[in-house]
Structure 1
Amino acid sequence: MTKRLLFLFIILSMGLLSGCWTTKSGQKSGIIVKVAKEGRYWGTYEGELIRGGLEDASGATGREFHFTLGQFRSELVKKAELAMQNNDHVIIFYHCEEFVAPWRGETKCFVDDIKILDTKDKKHPPKESNDSSVDQ
């Protein structure tokens, strides 16, 4: 009887604590370099975003941000895969939770939305030259 109550208490506690407390939320921009279904028992879609260092070829190493997209192949997963395949710069909107049940993801950060930035069509204005040898 006590084993049943203890088991019921543990299951109930995990259900109540998982997804209750959002510890942080915000936005991050960068390039998605990985979208994969991972997990030993419960497969969830996990991703990795590299922030900085890739687009300007500065040689600086970008910082990684690992996130969970969810358990099922949703529109969010398709959008992340499309951005990764096209090497698009994105802004992800995310939140992180304090307690996460094992079947919800490998990380504590969950993506709510992905905005793909349209940087390829923008024309960069010509740089002004400071050449003093121009005829006046």
Structure 2
Amino acid sequence: MSEFKQVVNEGLKKVGSWIKRFFLIVLLLAIAGGATYVWVSSWTYSDGTRAGNLIKISKKGVVFKTFEGQLNLGGFQQNVDGVSGNIWDFSVPKKDVYEQLQNFEGKQVKLFYRERYKAMPWQGKTNYFVYKVEQVE
């Protein structure tokens, strides 16, 4: 009987070390995959400008507070519900730009932005990040 227990214990040790190795590899792959996703998501997809009437700028969020705004580009767009105003949503990563935008609310502005592949929840609600603002005269 002791020989049987010894064989069973050796088998359990081999299986246990295999399971530990398997879960360690899965954990390392998950960490590497997550880091790669965050890195690729932060790449800039496009740079550009948009001009229009700044209609809203606010600080939003339950867990992560981010600066969000809306720009009325003028004109109308047709959607499923009918016709609506042409509104562009954007995020503001820096507080100094957010404060400038607060001063220009209700005025014509030109916004300089970068579009990213995917925004992380702590960065903003949209993929468009405004980094500079100019008032249009």
Which consecutive segments of 4 or more residues in structure 1 shift more than 4 A?
A: none
Q: Which residue of 1 aligns with 2:72?
A: 50
CA–CA distance in structure 2, aligned partners of residues 10 and 102 of structure 1: 18
Structure with higher helix content: 2
Give the C-alpha shift of residue 13 in structure 1. Answer: 1.4
Structure 2 match to 1:67: 90
Q: Which residue of 2 aligns with 1:19?
A: 42
**How many residues in Structure 1 have an aligned counterpart in Structure 2?**
107
Inter-partner Cα distance in structure 1 for 2:119 and 2:74: 28
**TM-score under structure 2 normalisation?**
0.68
Instruction: For structure 2, list consecutive stretches of 5 or more residues without a partner in the other structure.
Output: 1-23, 76-82
Q: Structure 1 stretches of 5 or more lacking a match? A: 54-59, 119-136
- Aligned equivalents of 2:66, 2:26: Cα separation in 1: 31
Root mean square deviation of aligned Cα: 2.0
- Normalised to the residue count of structure 1, the TM-score between the two structures is 0.69
Cα shift at 1:49:
0.2
Deviations 1:22-76 (A, max 9, x none): 22221111111111112232111010000125xxxxxx95411110101x5x210
Write 1 or 2 for the structure with the bigger share of strand. Answer: 2
Aligned residues with identical type, % of pairs: 24
Paired with 1:77 and 1:98, the residues of 2 have a C-alpha distance of 22
